[in-house]
Structure 1
Amino acid sequence: MNKTEILALLKKYQEGTLSDVDKDKLEAWYLHEALKSNKTLTEDELEKSYQHLKSKLPVYKETKVVKLWSRITVAASIVLLLGVSLFYMTESKEQKIQVVDKLDEVLPGGKKGILTLSNGKQIVLTDLSTKDTVAKEGEREEVIIKMNSKGIITYKITPNLSNIKSNSFNTLSTPVGGQYNIVLSDGTKVYLNAASSIKYPTHFNGKNRIVELEGEAYFEVVQDKNKPFIVKCAHQSIKVLGTHFNVHAYHNESVIKTTLLEGSVLITIKDQKTILKPGQQSNVLKKEDKVTVLEVDAENSVAWKNGRFKFDNTDIKTVMKQLERWYDIKVEYQGDVPNVSFSGGTFMNKNLSEVLKVLELSNIKFKREGKKVVVYP
């Protein structure tokens, strides 16, 4: 049955005019919903759901529906858990019945990436099987791009052509709600966060290993004292020999953050040079080209790589920007929202509603309208 037919039956049920044939149809619908679900309820949950549904469907002739209620208790409860709410609206003394679907749950992001080759061809990585040869690059196809058993993009240089001088560039990008990992031709591992991109040569044949980043990425750079690794992004460059660090450089945020976990990095902004030590973070204000070095818990900055949201006295707008990028939502602020900060965290594989419940513990309220979240006091 479609929704219109179900509404008609429920309307008859409310009016007490449901025939035996229609009663059987309605009963079958409930039982069908139960069979489709894998939900398991306790007796207490069944009873509460039954009473709730019964209260929303007033019975005019109780004797005519006893059989129906006794047989659909489980199904009715399942329907409630599936998000089908039954309620009445009184308008101009006329009672109407509606079936309202629960707002579609907003699911977390996942592994999604797009690889753009030197010729402009784009490859959607999520459509590929593991261990596939993704593409070949170079005049003589000397660079082989593969996906390994873990779904990570890797680059391999043909041994007898390792001294070639020509080069080509690829770009790995992630959409909103996507993350992806890559191993560059020198063995450096790059973890790319949502709504980010990295441009890099298919093989490093110059004096430096240079990549360009927009967004956020965590690097585990293979050490090569003779060939520094340089990350270029808006307003700054980062030079390392071999180290682990995180760069947060989204174009729509006013601060670029570089956090060091191992080794050392040299931050260059115009004529300013700053060296970071493990556990330090440089904050660069784009408008002022000013560098501030802070002592931080570096693990908080890379929690996203390990599948967690982790906040350390983080303000509400910074938190919501993370949710926007991961859940592909739009956030709006309504009224005088308090300037609260959050500490703690939760897992990124949770649905949006679960994360919002955690944040609500800090006395912030949220209202969701589809993929829009309104924050209000």
Structure 2
Amino acid sequence: MSNENTMDKKIVQQLIEDFLQKKLSEQQQLQFLQIIQDYEDVVLEVLNTMQLEQAPIAVDIDTEKMLNSLQKVLAVDHIVDAPVIELKKTATNKKWWWVAASIIILIGLFAGIYQYIQNANPKVTELVKKDIVAPTSNRAMVTLADGSTVYLDSLKDGAVAQQGNITLVKLANGQIAYQTADGQLIKEMMYNTLSNPRGSKVIDMKLSDGTRVWLNAGSVIKYPLAFVNKERSVELEGEGYFEVAKNKEKPFFVKAKQVKVKVLGTHFNMSAYSDDPSSKVTLIEGVVNVETGNKGIVLAPMQQAKASEDGSLSLNKNVNIDEVMAWKQDQFYFEDTNLKEVMKQLERWYDVSIEIEKGVSDKKFTGKMYRNINVSEVFKILKGLDVNYKIEGKKIIVTK
């Protein structure tokens, strides 16, 4: 979010030119960082104007060196919502200068500048160190039937582990799947557990029957290598989205906390974190039966069942599907969500602990944002709603 356009554009333009010509002092570098943070719209407008005018400046640029530098910048793990720009060398240094300048300013709103001046300016380094970055990779692991573990992010594509006649495979798109040797049957029930820890991007897997499962951060699913019984059954803790393969002969069950969901072939979301007071099942397509204790509800598409710890089971016929499915789209989506629930989602995604100081009112929030932004950017948005914070290592304290 940007402040009103009160910054003098001439000052911004001069700072951009001086920065790229390495003329800024340490104090001016800090000033430039702050301007980019607080007046991003003005900075982008100035860049656009300078590009259209092709304002000449005396700068000698090594395009090969610039390309290598920009590629390093693009690899920085705290880049936020960077634009997709194809990097190509060009014979015209002036034209390349404008591409380079635009990328440096846009990417991460000072991530590139941090790379440039971090060694020369310890104040800036300390400023960035105090931020907490969004997950940039998947840190999921599979616990095999024999108790051994496989960390997926460190493995190349292809066969990962062999269990009997079933092979665990990591596909090129990051998805994991199970493949059974042709003509062979498995008679023994062997279980694997897929764990996607806090601070990890969403993991996507395909079970042996063709069912697809997506796991949110802080989630675990236990499942058999092959469904050899008359039913297909898995256990979930956390949040998962299921696209269940149809098989009328073998109904599919998901068990989580006090809830049991029965389906034949459908798409639904289930949220059952251990630290949440209730579990929620939201149907996207098909039909499911949700049971808790001796109570049950049959859901129609776009409906949600909520099972509370006291054994109650309620039906919501007006659920906001966009809010429910935001995590799978790599977004935060809040609709009249209280402060504690907002902080709980941030804890899981950024793998931090959050303490809310006494006296901070339990406000409610409505809005959405992409999850690939740093904590500072999240609180920059929340600050507009009178929420402040401070970071102490991996702990965030919410203050008045």
TM-score by length of 2: 0.70
Q: Which residue number in structure 2 is paired with residue 175 of structure 1?
A: 197
* Count of equivalent residues: 301
Q: Aligned pair in 2 of structure 1 residues 54, 284: CA closer, same or farther (>3 Å)?
A: closer
Q: Which residue number in structure 1 is paired with residue 89 of structure 2?
A: none
Q: Which residue number in structure 2 is paired with residue 245 of structure 1?
A: 268
Aligned: 1:327 with 2:350: yes
Q: Which residue number in structure 1 is paired with residue 151 of structure 2?
A: 124
Q: What is the Cα deviation at residue 101 of structure 1? A: 2.1
Please, which moves more after superposition, 353-362 or 316-325?
353-362
Q: Which residue number in structure 2 is paired with residue 293 of structure 1?
A: 315
Q: Is the 8 A contact 1:167 1:203 kept in 2?
A: yes
Look up the SS of the partner of 2:183 in the other structure: helix
State the Cα RMSD in Å: 2.6
CA distance in 2, matches of 1:116, 1:357: 39
Aligned: 1:111 with 2:138: yes
CA deviations on 1:195-230 (whole Å, 9 max, x unpaired) are 111000001111110000111111111111111110
Q: Which residue number in structure 1 is paired with residue 237 of structure 2?
A: 214
| Structure 1 unaligned residues grouped into runs of 5+ | 1-40, 57-76, 88-97
5 Å matches for 1:1-377? 42-44=13-15, 50=24, 53=27, 82=117, 101-104=126-129, 105-109=131-135, 110-130=137-157, 132-138=158-164, 142-162=165-185, 164-178=186-200, 179-286=202-309, 288-294=310-316, 295-377=318-400
Q: Is the 8 A contact 2:162 2:168 kept in 1?
A: yes
Q: What is the Cα deviation at residue 313 of structure 1? A: 1.2
Q: Aligned pair in 2 of structure 1 residues 149, 51: CA closer, same or farther (>3 Å)?
A: closer
Q: Is the 8 A contact 1:180 1:193 kept in 2?
A: yes
Please, which moves more after superposition, 358-367 or 230-239?
358-367
Q: What is the Cα deviation at residue 53 of structure 1? A: 1.6
Q: Aligned pair in 2 of structure 1 residues 54, 219: CA closer, same or farther (>3 Å)?
A: closer
CA distance in 2, matches of 1:85, 1:116: 45
Q: Is the 8 A contact 1:266 1:273 kept in 2?
A: yes
Q: What is the Cα deviation at residue 362 of structure 1? A: 1.8
Q: What is the Cα deviation at residue 47 of structure 1? A: 6.8
CA distance in 2, matches of 1:101, 1:51: 18
Amino-acid identity (%): 36
Q: What is the Cα deviation at residue 260 of structure 1? A: 1.0
Q: Which residue number in structure 2 is paired with residue 10 of structure 1?
A: none
Structure whose alpha-carbon radius of gyration is higher: 1
Q: Is the 8 A contact 1:176 1:325 kept in 2?
A: yes
Q: Aligned pair in 2 of structure 1 residues 99, 45: CA closer, same or farther (>3 Å)?
A: closer
Q: Is the 8 A contact 2:379 2:387 kept in 1?
A: no
Q: What is the Cα deviation at residue 370 of structure 1? A: 2.7
CA distance in 1, matches of 2:305, 2:160: 37
Runs of 4+ in structure 1 off by over 3 angstroms are: 44-52, 77-87
CA distance in 2, matches of 1:195, 1:285: 20
Q: What is the Cα deviation at residue 311 of structure 1? A: 1.1
Q: Aligned pair in 2 of structure 1 residues 82, 297: CA closer, same or farther (>3 Å)?
A: farther
CA distance in 2, matches of 1:54, 1:306: 39
CA distance in 1, matches of 2:29, 2:230: 76
CA distance in 2, matches of 1:362, 1:205: 53
Q: Is the 8 A contact 2:306 2:313 kept in 1?
A: yes
CA distance in 2, matches of 1:99, 1:271: 59
Q: Is the 8 A contact 1:263 1:277 kept in 2?
A: yes
Please, which moves more after superposition, 334-343 or 303-312?
334-343
Q: What is the Cα deviation at residue 299 of structure 1? A: 2.4
Q: Aligned pair in 2 of structure 1 residues 47, 278: CA closer, same or farther (>3 Å)?
A: same
Q: What is the Cα deviation at residue 50 of structure 1? A: 4.7
Q: What is the Cα deviation at residue 45 of structure 1? A: 5.0
Letter in 2 for 1:293: L
| Structure 2 unaligned residues grouped into runs of 5+ | 1-11, 31-109
